[in-house]
Amino acid sequence: MTSGPTAPPPEDAIAGVSDLGENFRAAMRRLASAVGVLTVRGPDGPIGMAATSITSLTMDPPALLVCVNHKAALHACMEKDALFCVNLLSRHQSAISAAFGGGAAHEDRFRQGKWHSAADGLPRLEDAQAIMICRIEKIVPYGTHSIVIGAVDEAEVSGAIAPLIYQDGTYL
């Protein structure tokens, strides 16, 4: 009997994980992402949530997309032509991300960091890496989330580039 090449392991045996959902989760933990806090003006005051699913879409016109879970309180405020703010966090703002990621009650989240509202009522983080004010152009439901396409109406950037990055359950 001749020894030949060893057959590759079955696809469902990657890293000892046998379930597609678990494999997908493990694969996504290897994807590093910048962290932002999405904010809206809700009917009873400001609402915000941490997000890593923030992606540039086009430069002309300036647009981005964000993904929002249907269960998130912020989702109820997402409708065509509504405004939302993307606050990209700096390295030193992991406590803000943790609070808006569910580590604090909704009414306590805006106690982390220095927030202010402009005439449009959208909460803005004073020392964020960047702030983008967006108008919702389209909402596409998909699975447990909605893909929200926002036309960027306004963008501000800070002087230093030092984004907060999230990967494998850890801030970098």
Q: What is the pLDDT of residue 93?
A: 96
Q: What angle do CA 156, 162, 166 make, to 5 degrees?
A: 105
- Structural domains in the chain, sorted by start: 19-171 (2.30.110.10)
Q: Determine the Cα–Cα distance for residues 59 and 50; give it in Å rounded to an integer.
A: 24
Q: Which residue has the tokens 């999405």?
A: 38
pLDDT surpassing 60 at residue 107? yes
Mean pLDDT for 38-55 is: 95
Q: Determine the Cα–Cα distance for residues 117 and 60; give it in Å rounded to an integer.
A: 28
pTM, to two decimals = 0.86
Q: What is the pLDDT of residue 3?
A: 45
- Cα–Cα distances in Å, from 153 out to 69, 122, 133? 24, 13, 6
